[in-house]
Every structure is written in C-alpha cells, then in structure tokens.
Amino acid sequence: MATRFERACANVKAEFDSPAAVVSATDLKREEKIKLLQEWDYDLRLRMVASEENMPAANMGADVRVGDQLQEVSRCLTELGANPSPADGAAKTG
C-alpha cells in the first residue's frame, strides 16, 4: 500500500488542499514536505509558462490564482527553511 507521501508525489494537489496543509501534516518528515512543496511550485510554474504562451483574456483570473498559490508555496517553503526552486531544477517525479 502506498504511503501518503508516495500518493502525494504523484499528485500533491489531489492529496492536500493547500500548501499550508502540507506543512501541518504530522505524518510527513520535513524533507518530504519540502519535496512535495517543491513539486507544487514546479507544477505552478509550468502552468504559468503554458498560460503565457497562450494568453486569452479569460485566463487572466487563473493567472492571478496561480501567482497567489506560488506565493503561498514560497512562504511555506521558507517556513520549512527551504528554497522554492532547488538548485538541481526539480524534475517532476511520479
């Protein structure tokens, strides 16, 4: 049976409602929380790039939400003492 961390590696947003929920999870180690938040950051950055390449006016609200989520992820990573984007480029896993 997969652990919560393993399930979250496949889709962190399906397992957690918010980045703050990752930080407050008592069943995860600090390193696991950091990895999940870095994955979340990576996914959000990919969404922003995709949105920038095709900028329909209808997506403007979605861009604001992604920006807000990026800030929240960054705050959570800072709270854990980590950087939003690791030096190795955070390759997507799972």
Task: State the Cα–Cα distance between residues 61 and 89, nearest whole angstrom.
Answer: 28
**C-alpha to C-alpha distances, 9 to 26, 59, 93, nearest whole angstrom:** 17, 27, 7
Give residue-wise pLDDT tens across range 58-67: 444 556 688 8
* Spatial CB neighbours of 35, under 8 Å, sequence gap ≥ 6: 9
Identify the top-confidence range among 21-25, 46-50, 51-55.
21-25
Beta carbons of 83 and 77 less than 8 angstroms apart: yes
In a domain, 71, yes or no: yes
Q: Could you list the residue range(s) of the whole structural domain that residue 47 is in?
A: 4-79
In a domain, 9, yes or no: yes
Sole residue written with tokens 């403007």: 60
Give residue-wise pLDDT tens across range 11-46: 999 999 999 999 999 999 999 999 999 999 999 998
The conformational region for residue 25 under phi > 0 = left, psi -120 to 50 = alpha, else beta, is beta
| High-pLDDT (> 70) share of the chain, % | 74
Q: How many domains does the chain have?
A: 1
